[in-house]
Structure 1
Amino acid sequence: MTVDEEALRKRLREAINRSLTGVQQKAQPDDKDKREALAAEKKQNAETQSIVESNLDRRVNRRLRWKYARWVFCYLVCYSIFVGGVLIISGFGICGFVLSETVLSTLVGSTAVSAIGLVLAVTTGLFKPI
Protein backbone atom coordinates (compact mmCIF):
# COMPACT_ATOMS: atom_id res chain seq x y z
CA MET A 1 0.00 0.00 0.00
CA THR A 2 1.18 3.41 -0.84
CA VAL A 3 1.19 6.47 1.35
CA ASP A 4 -1.66 8.00 -0.66
CA GLU A 5 -3.84 4.94 -0.21
CA GLU A 6 -3.11 4.87 3.51
CA ALA A 7 -4.01 8.57 3.88
CA LEU A 8 -7.16 8.03 1.85
CA ARG A 9 -8.23 5.11 4.06
CA LYS A 10 -7.53 7.13 7.19
CA ARG A 11 -9.65 10.05 5.92
CA LEU A 12 -12.41 7.63 4.99
CA ARG A 13 -12.43 6.08 8.51
CA GLU A 14 -12.55 9.55 10.07
CA ALA A 15 -15.46 10.57 7.84
CA ILE A 16 -17.33 7.38 8.73
CA ASN A 17 -16.70 7.94 12.43
CA ARG A 18 -17.94 11.55 12.20
CA SER A 19 -21.09 10.38 10.37
CA LEU A 20 -21.65 7.63 12.89
CA THR A 21 -21.42 10.16 15.73
CA GLY A 22 -23.94 12.41 13.94
CA VAL A 23 -26.35 9.50 13.48
CA GLN A 24 -26.01 8.47 17.11
CA GLN A 25 -26.66 12.02 18.24
CA LYS A 26 -29.74 12.23 15.96
CA ALA A 27 -31.19 9.19 17.74
CA GLN A 28 -32.05 11.63 20.51
CA PRO A 29 -34.81 14.10 19.50
CA ASP A 30 -33.59 17.63 18.99
CA ASP A 31 -35.57 20.88 19.38
CA LYS A 32 -37.01 20.70 15.87
CA ASP A 33 -38.25 17.14 16.46
CA LYS A 34 -39.84 18.20 19.75
CA ARG A 35 -41.57 21.16 18.07
CA GLU A 36 -42.87 18.91 15.29
CA ALA A 37 -44.20 16.39 17.84
CA LEU A 38 -45.87 19.19 19.80
CA ALA A 39 -47.46 20.62 16.64
CA ALA A 40 -48.74 17.15 15.64
CA GLU A 41 -50.19 16.63 19.11
CA LYS A 42 -51.92 20.03 19.04
CA LYS A 43 -53.38 19.25 15.61
CA GLN A 44 -54.68 15.89 16.81
CA ASN A 45 -56.20 17.48 19.93
CA ALA A 46 -57.91 20.13 17.79
CA GLU A 47 -59.35 17.46 15.48
CA THR A 48 -60.56 15.43 18.46
CA GLN A 49 -62.17 18.51 20.01
CA SER A 50 -63.88 19.30 16.71
CA ILE A 51 -65.33 15.78 16.53
CA VAL A 52 -66.53 15.97 20.15
CA GLU A 53 -68.26 19.31 19.52
CA SER A 54 -69.82 18.00 16.32
CA ASN A 55 -71.23 15.00 18.17
CA LEU A 56 -72.60 17.25 20.91
CA ASP A 57 -74.25 19.50 18.32
CA ARG A 58 -75.88 16.48 16.71
CA ARG A 59 -77.21 15.26 20.05
CA VAL A 60 -78.70 18.67 20.83
CA ASN A 61 -80.14 18.86 17.31
CA ARG A 62 -81.82 15.47 17.78
CA ARG A 63 -83.32 16.53 21.10
CA LEU A 64 -84.74 19.69 19.54
CA ARG A 65 -86.15 17.75 16.61
CA TRP A 66 -87.83 15.31 18.97
CA LYS A 67 -89.28 18.16 21.05
CA TYR A 68 -90.68 20.02 18.03
CA ALA A 69 -91.97 16.83 16.43
CA ARG A 70 -94.00 16.12 19.58
CA TRP A 71 -95.42 19.67 19.61
CA VAL A 72 -96.40 19.50 15.94
CA PHE A 73 -98.02 16.11 16.46
CA CYS A 74 -99.91 17.30 19.57
CA TYR A 75 -101.14 20.39 17.71
CA LEU A 76 -102.41 18.31 14.80
CA VAL A 77 -104.13 15.82 17.09
CA CYS A 78 -105.78 18.52 19.24
CA TYR A 79 -106.91 20.56 16.24
CA SER A 80 -108.31 17.48 14.50
CA ILE A 81 -110.19 16.43 17.65
CA PHE A 82 -111.60 19.95 18.02
CA VAL A 83 -112.77 20.07 14.39
CA GLY A 84 -114.18 16.55 14.66
CA GLY A 85 -116.08 17.53 17.79
CA VAL A 86 -117.47 20.66 16.12
CA LEU A 87 -118.58 18.56 13.12
CA ILE A 88 -120.31 16.01 15.34
CA ILE A 89 -122.03 18.64 17.48
CA SER A 90 -123.15 20.54 14.40
CA GLY A 91 -124.18 17.38 12.55
CA PHE A 92 -126.43 16.13 15.35
CA GLY A 93 -127.58 19.63 16.30
CA ILE A 94 -126.67 19.11 19.94
CA CYS A 95 -127.91 22.04 22.08
CA GLY A 96 -129.18 23.73 18.94
CA PHE A 97 -125.64 24.20 17.61
CA VAL A 98 -125.83 24.29 13.82
CA LEU A 99 -123.25 25.71 11.41
CA SER A 100 -123.74 26.52 7.76
CA GLU A 101 -122.30 24.31 5.09
CA THR A 102 -119.73 26.95 4.18
CA VAL A 103 -118.34 27.09 7.72
CA LEU A 104 -118.18 23.29 7.93
CA SER A 105 -116.37 23.11 4.58
CA THR A 106 -113.93 25.72 5.80
CA LEU A 107 -113.27 23.77 9.01
CA VAL A 108 -112.68 20.52 7.14
CA GLY A 109 -110.49 22.25 4.54
CA SER A 110 -108.48 24.10 7.17
CA THR A 111 -107.81 20.83 8.97
CA ALA A 112 -106.43 19.30 5.79
CA VAL A 113 -104.41 22.41 4.97
CA SER A 114 -103.10 22.61 8.53
CA ALA A 115 -102.03 18.98 8.55
CA ILE A 116 -100.43 19.05 5.11
CA GLY A 117 -98.88 22.49 5.63
CA LEU A 118 -97.31 21.64 8.97
CA VAL A 119 -96.05 18.29 7.86
CA LEU A 120 -94.61 19.54 4.59
CA ALA A 121 -93.46 23.09 5.32
CA VAL A 122 -92.42 23.09 8.95
CA THR A 123 -91.08 19.59 9.41
CA THR A 124 -89.10 19.53 6.16
CA GLY A 125 -87.19 22.59 7.38
CA LEU A 126 -86.90 21.05 10.84
CA PHE A 127 -85.70 17.66 9.63
CA LYS A 128 -83.01 18.62 7.16
CA PRO A 129 -80.30 15.97 6.84
CA ILE A 130 -77.44 16.52 9.24
Structure 2
Amino acid sequence: MTEWLTTGQMIDRLKVGQIAATEKYNHQGTAYVSKEEQGGFYWCDKEGRKDDYIILGNKHFTEADWRILPTFVSFEDVMKAFKEDKKVKIHFNDGGTLTLTKYASLPQLCFHDFLECKWTIEGDTP
Protein backbone atom coordinates (compact mmCIF):
# COMPACT_ATOMS: atom_id res chain seq x y z
CA MET A 1 0.00 0.00 0.00
CA THR A 2 1.00 3.61 -0.37
CA GLU A 3 1.96 6.13 2.29
CA TRP A 4 -0.48 7.72 4.71
CA LEU A 5 -1.88 11.04 3.48
CA THR A 6 -3.78 13.86 5.12
CA THR A 7 -7.23 14.56 3.74
CA GLY A 8 -5.84 17.54 1.81
CA GLN A 9 -3.05 15.45 0.27
CA MET A 10 -5.52 12.72 -0.65
CA ILE A 11 -7.84 15.25 -2.31
CA ASP A 12 -4.91 16.65 -4.31
CA ARG A 13 -3.59 13.23 -5.42
CA LEU A 14 -6.66 11.07 -5.92
CA LYS A 15 -7.41 10.60 -9.62
CA VAL A 16 -10.84 10.00 -11.11
CA GLY A 17 -11.86 6.38 -10.53
CA GLN A 18 -9.22 5.68 -7.86
CA ILE A 19 -10.22 4.68 -4.34
CA ALA A 20 -8.75 5.93 -1.06
CA ALA A 21 -9.22 4.19 2.29
CA THR A 22 -9.07 5.28 5.90
CA GLU A 23 -8.93 2.72 8.68
CA LYS A 24 -10.23 4.88 11.50
CA TYR A 25 -13.32 6.61 10.19
CA ASN A 26 -15.55 7.63 13.09
CA HIS A 27 -14.29 4.62 15.07
CA GLN A 28 -16.30 2.37 12.72
CA GLY A 29 -13.49 0.73 10.78
CA THR A 30 -12.41 1.18 7.18
CA ALA A 31 -14.18 3.71 4.96
CA TYR A 32 -13.60 4.33 1.25
CA VAL A 33 -13.94 7.35 -1.03
CA SER A 34 -13.60 7.89 -4.75
CA LYS A 35 -13.53 10.86 -7.13
CA GLU A 36 -15.91 11.62 -9.99
CA GLU A 37 -15.02 13.16 -13.35
CA GLN A 38 -16.71 16.38 -12.27
CA GLY A 39 -14.33 16.54 -9.29
CA GLY A 40 -16.77 15.58 -6.54
CA PHE A 41 -15.95 13.01 -3.87
CA TYR A 42 -18.26 10.26 -2.65
CA TRP A 43 -18.30 7.44 -0.12
CA CYS A 44 -18.09 4.03 -1.76
CA ASP A 45 -17.32 0.39 -1.04
CA LYS A 46 -13.91 -1.19 -1.69
CA GLU A 47 -14.87 -1.85 -5.34
CA GLY A 48 -15.88 1.79 -5.90
CA ARG A 49 -19.65 1.35 -5.91
CA LYS A 50 -21.12 4.74 -4.97
CA ASP A 51 -22.84 5.19 -1.64
CA ASP A 52 -23.29 8.89 -0.84
CA TYR A 53 -21.64 12.25 -1.53
CA ILE A 54 -19.19 13.66 0.98
CA ILE A 55 -19.71 16.92 2.77
CA LEU A 56 -16.17 18.30 2.87
CA GLY A 57 -16.74 19.97 6.24
CA ASN A 58 -17.43 16.61 7.87
CA LYS A 59 -14.96 16.39 10.80
CA HIS A 60 -14.50 12.64 10.47
CA PHE A 61 -13.58 13.07 6.79
CA THR A 62 -11.28 16.07 7.19
CA GLU A 63 -9.35 14.65 10.16
CA ALA A 64 -8.81 11.15 8.73
CA ASP A 65 -5.56 9.73 7.36
CA TRP A 66 -5.83 8.09 3.93
CA ARG A 67 -4.09 5.64 1.61
CA ILE A 68 -4.79 5.55 -2.11
CA LEU A 69 -5.43 1.93 -3.11
CA PRO A 70 -3.65 0.44 -6.13
CA THR A 71 -5.56 0.29 -9.40
CA PHE A 72 -5.20 -3.26 -10.69
CA VAL A 73 -5.11 -3.92 -14.44
CA SER A 74 -5.49 -6.92 -16.71
CA PHE A 75 -2.57 -8.92 -18.08
CA GLU A 76 -3.43 -7.48 -21.50
CA ASP A 77 -2.86 -3.99 -20.09
CA VAL A 78 0.46 -5.19 -18.67
CA MET A 79 1.56 -6.29 -22.14
CA LYS A 80 0.57 -2.89 -23.57
CA ALA A 81 2.54 -1.16 -20.79
CA PHE A 82 5.64 -3.21 -21.64
CA LYS A 83 5.35 -2.06 -25.28
CA GLU A 84 5.36 1.52 -23.97
CA ASP A 85 8.49 0.80 -21.88
CA LYS A 86 6.61 1.20 -18.61
CA LYS A 87 7.36 -0.74 -15.43
CA VAL A 88 4.74 -3.04 -13.96
CA LYS A 89 4.36 -4.44 -10.49
CA ILE A 90 3.15 -7.92 -9.58
CA HIS A 91 1.15 -8.07 -6.34
CA PHE A 92 1.17 -11.56 -4.84
CA ASN A 93 -1.55 -12.87 -2.53
CA ASP A 94 0.94 -13.06 0.36
CA GLY A 95 1.45 -9.28 0.18
CA GLY A 96 4.77 -9.44 -1.66
CA THR A 97 5.44 -7.38 -4.77
CA LEU A 98 7.90 -7.47 -7.64
CA THR A 99 8.58 -4.66 -10.13
CA LEU A 100 9.42 -5.64 -13.71
CA THR A 101 10.37 -4.07 -17.02
CA LYS A 102 9.85 -5.70 -20.40
CA TYR A 103 13.51 -6.74 -20.34
CA ALA A 104 13.37 -8.47 -16.96
CA SER A 105 13.06 -12.20 -16.82
CA LEU A 106 10.23 -13.48 -14.69
CA PRO A 107 11.28 -15.28 -11.55
CA GLN A 108 10.26 -18.85 -11.13
CA LEU A 109 6.57 -18.65 -10.40
CA CYS A 110 4.21 -21.54 -10.11
CA PHE A 111 1.34 -21.32 -12.57
CA HIS A 112 -1.18 -20.82 -9.75
CA ASP A 113 0.73 -17.79 -8.36
CA PHE A 114 0.98 -16.29 -11.84
CA LEU A 115 -2.77 -16.60 -12.41
CA GLU A 116 -3.74 -15.41 -8.93
CA CYS A 117 -1.51 -12.34 -8.73
CA LYS A 118 -2.69 -8.81 -9.50
CA TRP A 119 -0.91 -6.22 -11.63
CA THR A 120 -0.38 -2.46 -11.53
CA ILE A 121 1.39 -0.17 -13.95
CA GLU A 122 4.04 1.98 -12.28
CA GLY A 123 3.40 5.67 -12.74
CA ASP A 124 -0.32 5.05 -13.37
CA THR A 125 -0.99 4.35 -9.68
CA PRO A 126 0.08 6.11 -6.51
TM-score by length of 1: 0.17
Q: Which has the higher helix share?
A: 1
State the structure with more CA Rg.
1
Please report the TM-score for the alignment, with normalisation by the length of structure 2: 0.18
